């Protein structure tokens, strides 16, 4: 594609939760100089001009931005489909009604588990009851509701009950996404990576739920990369379909790319159109010319694009290497060893984020 269709607008990395699987950057101090309302409005105009159709408002917790209603109204005025990705803490009735009036199209609420004590422990703060109340409010106001659950060793055994909760709150869509190992999730990988037996049991439950709920609720299930034979395609190709704008205005091809040693491109310094088309951060791994073997000679090179550049860097220190998830990668033993550890005896205590993001 010549232009992106999706914009992930990370309005702030501040968050009231302290989830041990958080994939946001560890160096939070680098993102405290957040874009102003006017700067976000300009970014949205440039994104629409570039061809963007969908705007996902995320974080951190986007509701901590006092101007979130203004940002939604600006996106709506440009004809963008808007999706609020939220913990739902802070989604009071007055705020929800303002967002509805501003034209917000969709709400995605994250939950950590189906039961209060477990959910609150994983979130690092009491939050479960407020999430349930907020989801009821979302449905009352007529929004489509997606329930998002990050799965890991600590909650995947509860997947049937999680699906039951999603059905109970009237979700139109549920995303069961196994943890991606970046940020705090990387630090906690040994406590988060599920066993093969857990995954096999979960897949049986998901298949049955898809069949039972096929006319009422979409059930999306994403297995952990580490258990795949081939890697996932990197956002449909590096800088091919979507872009991310971070709270301080850095533009990235995916939310995890902050960790890569690439030149920064920022909306305060350059137009979004130039950043998308020509900036080094966007062109570094676009297409297939950059690929080493075995990717270069693989007939899957335009299906999975060599896998995840951030994961390759996380595991090997070299973003240009074949994603070690791939069974053809010369570094595949790194993943094999992690999977072996997940299926053996070892401590499983979580190391929570030391403090809630303020």
No. of helices (H) and no. of strands (E), the chain? 13, 9
- How far is 39 from 80, CA to CA, in rounded Å? 17
The verdict on whether residue 22 carries a ligand-binding annotation is yes
- Give Cα separations from 301 to 136, 227, 256, 259, 327 (angstroms): 44, 20, 21, 24, 14
- Cβ neighbors of 93 (< 8 A, separation 6 or more) are 137
* Helical segments of 21-115, H only: 37-50, 68-77, 93-102
The verdict on whether residue 254 carries a ligand-binding annotation is no
In this structure, the number of other CB atoms found within 10 A of the CB of residue 337 comes to: 10
Q: What angle do CA 95, 174, 74 make, to 5 degrees?
A: 35
The verdict on whether residue 326 carries a ligand-binding annotation is no
| Total residues found in the chain within this entry | 358
3-class DSSP state for residue 174?
strand
| Burial (CB count <10 Å: 0-12, 13-18, 19+), residue 183 | buried
Strands in 6-10's sheet, in edge-to-edge order, are 218-222, 173-178, 145-151, 106-111, 81-86, 54-58, 6-10, 242-245, 251-252
Residues annotated within the binding site for [4Fe-4S] cluster are 15, 19, 22
Residues annotated within the binding site are 15, 19, 22
């Amino acid at each position: 594609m010549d232009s992106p269709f999706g914009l992930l607008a990370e309005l702030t990395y501040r968050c009231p939760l302290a989830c041990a699987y958080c994939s946001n950057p560890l160096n939070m101090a680098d993102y405290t100089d957040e874009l102003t309302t006017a700067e976000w409005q300009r970014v949205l105009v440039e994104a629409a001009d570039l061809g963007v159709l969908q705007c996902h408002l995320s974080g951190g917790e986007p509701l901590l931005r006092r101007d979130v209603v203004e940002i939604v109204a600006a996106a709506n005025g440009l004809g963008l489909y808007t999706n609020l990705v939220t913990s739902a803490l802070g989604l009071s009735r007055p705020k929800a009604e303002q967002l509805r009036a501003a034209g917000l199209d969709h709400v995605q609420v994250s939950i950590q588990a189906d039961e209060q004590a477990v959910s609150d422990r994983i979130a690092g703060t009491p939050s479960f009851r407020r999430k349930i109340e907020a989801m009821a409010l979302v449905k009352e106001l007529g929004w489509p509701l997606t329930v998002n659950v990050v799965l890991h060793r600590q909650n995947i055994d509860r997947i049937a009950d999680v699906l039951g909760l999603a059905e109970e709150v009237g979700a139109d869509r549920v995303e069961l996404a196994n943890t991606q190992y970046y940020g705090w999730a990387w630090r906690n990988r040994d406590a988060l990576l599920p066993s093969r037996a857990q995954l096999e049991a979960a897949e049986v439950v998901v298949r049955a739920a898809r069949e039972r709920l096929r006319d009422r609720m979409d059930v999306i299930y994403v297995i952990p990369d580490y258990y795949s034979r081939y890697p996932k395609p990197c956002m449909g190709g590096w800088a091919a379909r979507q872009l991310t704008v971070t709270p301080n205005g850095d533009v990235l091809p995916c939310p995890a790319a902050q960790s890569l040693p690439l030149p920064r491109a920022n909306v305060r310094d350059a137009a979004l159109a130039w950043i998308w088309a020509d900036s080094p951060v966007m062109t570094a791994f676009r297409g297939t010319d950059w690929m080493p073997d075995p990717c270069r000679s693989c007939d899957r090179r335009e299906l999975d694009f060599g896998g995840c550049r951030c994961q390759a860097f996380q595991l090997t220190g070299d973003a240009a290497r074949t994603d070690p998830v791939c069974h053809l990668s010369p570094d595949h033993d790194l993943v094999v060893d992690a999977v072996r550890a997940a299926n053996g005896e070892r401590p499983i205590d979580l190391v929570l984020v030391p403090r809630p993001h303020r």
